[in-house]
């Protein structure tokens, strides 16, 4: 089964965050798919994995996720290399070692529906308006063979 690539702005999730939905910000490259930057395995730092809540594993849930997050390497990445690192797929995960659970991608943002597709126009051949110059009628009934 084909997997979708992950784009800049993809939705991510950490169940140990008080606001579990976050956003993946691509900073590793400028290569685009469907007008959005490709995410690759280098997008694994605190500035890439953006969460607004606090970590439930921190004392009294007082520490923001961004402050305590420690990540390993992405797992389940593509064979496709984008600027020296494998591209991320919709099923890629990354372990946060502080909380001990994986951060998952919940919406890769790659569109599966084609946009506005315009038909290719074929040349149109219209009638020729030039007058006929000479018309000659040949009649085989009046030939010498019939006499």
pLDDT of residue 115: 59
Strands of 2-145 (E only): list them. 11-13, 21-24, 32-33, 36-37, 49-50, 71-75, 81-82, 85-86, 93-96, 101-107
Helix, coil or strand: residue 74: strand
Query: Do residues 17 and 55 touch, judged by C-beta distance below 8 A?
Result: yes
Per-residue pLDDT of 102-135, as tens digits, reads: 999 999 998 866 556 566 666 666 666 666 566 6
Per-residue pLDDT of 61-93, as tens digits, reads: 999 999 999 999 999 999 999 999 999 999 999
Task: Report the Cα 105 to chain-centroid distance in Å.
Answer: 14
Q: Which of the 8 DSSP states describes residue 63?
A: S
Say yes or no to pLDDT of 15 above 60.
yes
Taking the CA atoms of 50, 68, 106 and 77 in sequence, report the sign of the dihedral they define.
Answer: positive
pLDDT of residue 110: 87
pLDDT of residue 89: 96
- Distance between CA atoms of 26 and 6, rounded to whole angstroms? 10
- Looking at per-residue pLDDT, the higher value among 35 and 115 belongs to 35
- Distance between CA atoms of 95 and 102, rounded to whole angstroms? 4
pLDDT of residue 34: 85
pLDDT of residue 3: 85
Mean pLDDT within 2-26? 95
pLDDT of residue 135: 63
Which is nearest to 18 in space by CA: 71, 49, 58? 58
């Amino acid at each position: 089964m084909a997997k979708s690539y992950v784009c800049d702005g993809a939705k991510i999730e950490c169940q140990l965050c008080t606001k579990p939905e976050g956003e993946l910000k691509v900073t590793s490259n400028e290569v685009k798919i469907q007008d959005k930057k490709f995410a690759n395995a280098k997008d694994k730092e605190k500035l890439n994995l953006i969460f607004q809540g606090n970590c439930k594993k921190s004392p009294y849930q007082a520490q923001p996720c961004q402050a305590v997050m420690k990540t390993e390497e992405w797992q389940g990445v593509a064979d496709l290399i984008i600027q020296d690192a494998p591209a991320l797929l919709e099923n890629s995960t990354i372990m946060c070692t502080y909380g001990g659970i994986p951060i998952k991608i919940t919406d890769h943002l790659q569109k599966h529906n084609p946009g506005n597709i315009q038909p290719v126009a074929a040349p149109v051949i219209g009638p020729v308006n030039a007058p006929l110059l000479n018309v000659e009628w040949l009649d085989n009934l009046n030939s010498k063979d019939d006499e």
